[in-house]
Amino acid sequence: MRFGGKRALVTGAAGGIGRAVVAQLRAEGAKVAVTDRDSAETEAEAHLDGDLLDAAFCDDLPGRAEAALGGLDILINNAGVITRGDITTTTDADYALTMGVNVEAPFRLCRAAIPIMARTGGGAIVNTSSCWGVHPGANHPLYIMSKAALASLTQCLGRDHAPQGIRVNAVCPNEVNTPMLRTGFAIRGLDPDKAVDKLNASVPIGHIAEPEEIADVITFLASDAARYMCGSLVEVNGGKPVG
């Protein structure tokens, strides 16, 4: 029971990775508050749904989680969006959405959660960045910029708040077999199953990640087993480099 007595807040909890993270945390003893647009189908101790583009909602969320759970020891900034296309095809709305969800929301949540954790002797924050935020690829400039910003924020906070017993790390996945990935293929007129099969063939380990395989790393980083890790960017890519 790695998380017995721990209290966690997970964003993007209704998605593939988020739901897997919540299940693992709860199975190992944590009480979990979740947030998404609609997390009703995600089992948790507290549902605090709302819009991560709403600054006031983000500023208040860690405090609401603390009140609902009796404390806050773990923050998982998992929510994210992906915008495709080169810079000439992106819009101001694309920019606002991508930077709002992928950068501003984690910034605000970390800013609000760190004082809560500091009062009780520490905690763990795990951000979901991306391999693309560490090794930029092609035709995703907004997504890459946002995930690079989150990676740099992780490294900075990891150093700044280690003396308070607050460990901040990030997982950096490559492709993951989530509803978001499959919806992206469908939007582009591709058959999701065939597209995933093609991606599987490009990965040295033989398949793109399943949500649980990323959740395993997130929960490791949130656990005491990662007690000496601060500001780490952990790439989880099945051996596949960014193309």
Is residue 194 annotated as a catalytic residue, yes or no? no
Q: Which of 143, 194, 198, 228 is catalytic?
A: 143
Q: Which of 147, 198, 228, 240 is catalytic?
A: 147
Residue 226 · residue 167 · CB < 8 Å: yes
Is residue 143 annotated as a catalytic residue, yes or no? yes
Which residue, 127, 117, 167, 180, is CA-closest to 151?
127
Distance of CA 238 to the CA centre of its chain: 18
C-alpha span between 59 and 4 (Å, rounded) = 27
What 3-state DSSP class applies to 85? coil
Question: What phi and psi values does residue 211 have, to the nearest 5 degrees?
Answer: -50, -40
- Rounded to the nearest 10 degrees, the angle between the axes of helix 179-187 and helix 192-201 is 110
Report the chain's C-alpha Rg in angstroms. 17
Question: What phi and psi values does residue 9 have, to the nearest 5 degrees?
Answer: -115, 130
C-alpha span between 102 and 219 (Å, rounded) = 20
C-alpha span between 105 and 55 (Å, rounded) = 7
What residues have CB less than 8 Å from 63, skipping those under 6 apart? Answer: 112, 116
Residue with tokens 């930077």: 99
Residues marked active site are found at 143, 147
